[in-house]
Amino acid sequence: MRIKFIFSFILIFVFSLDLAFGQKQQHFYDVDKEMKIVGTIQKIVMEPRYKNTSPFLIVFLDEKTSKRSYKVELSPKRFFDYDLHKGENLMVTGSFYQNGVNNLNIIAREIRLRGETLFLRDKHGFPNWRRGKKKKGP
């Protein structure tokens, strides 16, 4: 009886480890990790980010002061109707997260582009595209 119990415990433990490591790490907007960077756009891509949503507009941004590269998640393409260009300057306020050793990521809340401020998320990090039209700054 005791051997069955120990064997069952080990089996459950091993199975739970497999489930935990097999899951894809989720990222979310964390207002406590909000930061602001200014950089130059190096690359612009469309990527699937969340299950059952349209592809997201992603920019790779080289920060001017630290020379670090960030992958910045902006919004679904359908919500973003501005043209971005490689080499263009962009100011981003957003939530920082890191997956892996050198993968620096930001989920953008607002961006400043060509003198205009675009609010992609509200002050709590909730997406503005769920409410329809995007908001422009003052």
Rounded CA-CA distance 57/84 in Å is: 10
Structure tokens at 85: 């260009």
Q: pLDDT tens-digit profile of 42-52? A: 999 998 877 77
Residue 94 lies in a domain: yes
Entry pTM? 0.74
What is the rounded CA–CA span in Å between residue 15 and residue 76?
Answer: 36
**pLDDT class of 53 with cuts at 50, 70, 90:** confident
Range of the domain at 42: 31-136
| 58-66, Cβ contacts within 8 angstroms, sequence gap of 24 or more | 59/84, 59/90, 61/37, 61/90, 61/92, 63/37, 63/38, 63/39, 64/38, 64/39, 64/40, 65/38
Residue 17 clears pLDDT 90, i.e. is over it: no
In a domain, 25, yes or no: no
* Residue 103 confidence class, pLDDT cut points 50, 70, 90: confident
Is residue 96 included in any domain, yes or no? yes
Q: Is residue 26 part of a domain?
A: no
Residue 107 maps to a domain: yes
The domain tally of the chain equals: 1
| Tens-digit pLDDT profile for residues 116-127 | 999 999 999 999
Cite the DSSP H helix spans in 1-138: 2-22
Residue 133 pLDDT greater than 80, yes or no:
no
Q: What tokens were used for 17?
A: 């480890």
